[in-house]
Amino acid sequence: MSNRLARLGSEHPLCDSIQLITLILFFVTWGIDIIGKVIFGVSTIFVEVVSIPLLLLPALFSWSLGIYLVMKSHEAIFGATTGQPMLNDSGVYSWVRHPMYLGIMLFCLGFLFIMPSFFSIGVWIVFFIFYDKMATYEENDLVRILGEKYINYQKRVPRWFPKLLYFSSKE
């Protein structure tokens, strides 16, 4: 066995493809809206409603939290741990059950704060639905493998939206 934690459960069979396609679709849509607005003056961007400086703060927060979640979840899953597969319910995994997926979605959401458009928001919602379906697939596999232990984890830790008072200092 390598220096990585053994895999527990399986990813959705199309996980990598879905992530790549939705990310490309999101950024292509977002880019087309920006180009349409800048060059042709036509797009679905509604940034005129709120000034860009007001949008920068939530964008920076979303990017920072997204990057943090992805880094910490990668560190927890792919760190130099050896041994049998086990449920990781500490650190960012004590906040949400899918911090890596949430981090990617928050990172993309940051771009929506900077240049919000109706098409990009629609694509982001589709993006979220695909991630939710992948998470459901993976959780069903983990319930099959871990049974009551994972069901208790599901009851304790939310899938997407952290309980603000639940954040702990254990990392």
- The 10s digit of each residue's pLDDT in 6-65 is 346 667 677 777 778 878 888 888 777 777 766 766 666 655 655 667 778 888 999 999
DSSP per residue, 10-38? ---TTHHHHHHHHHHHHHHHHHHHHHIII
pLDDT value of position 171: 43
Distance CA 81, CA 96 (A): 21
Which of 21-25, 67-71, 108-112, 160-164 is modeled with the greatest confidence? 67-71
pLDDT value of position 78: 74
Query: Mean pLDDT over residues 120-147, rounded?
Result: 89
Higher-confidence position of 142 and 10: 142
Using pLDDT thresholds of 50, 70 and 90, give the confidence band for residue 146. Answer: confident
Evaluate the CA torsion angle 15, 18, 23, 26 in order and state its sign. Answer: negative
Question: What is the identity of the amino acid at 60?
Answer: L
Q: Measure the CA dihedral 25/28/30/32, to 10°.
A: -140
Q: Where exactly are the structural domains of the chain?
A: 29-39+49-79+88-159
pLDDT value of position 50: 58
pLDDT value of position 26: 80
pLDDT value of position 1: 28
Distance CA 34, CA 103 (A): 24
- The 10s digit of each residue's pLDDT in 89-132 is 888 998 999 999 999 999 989 988 877 777 778 888 988 998 99
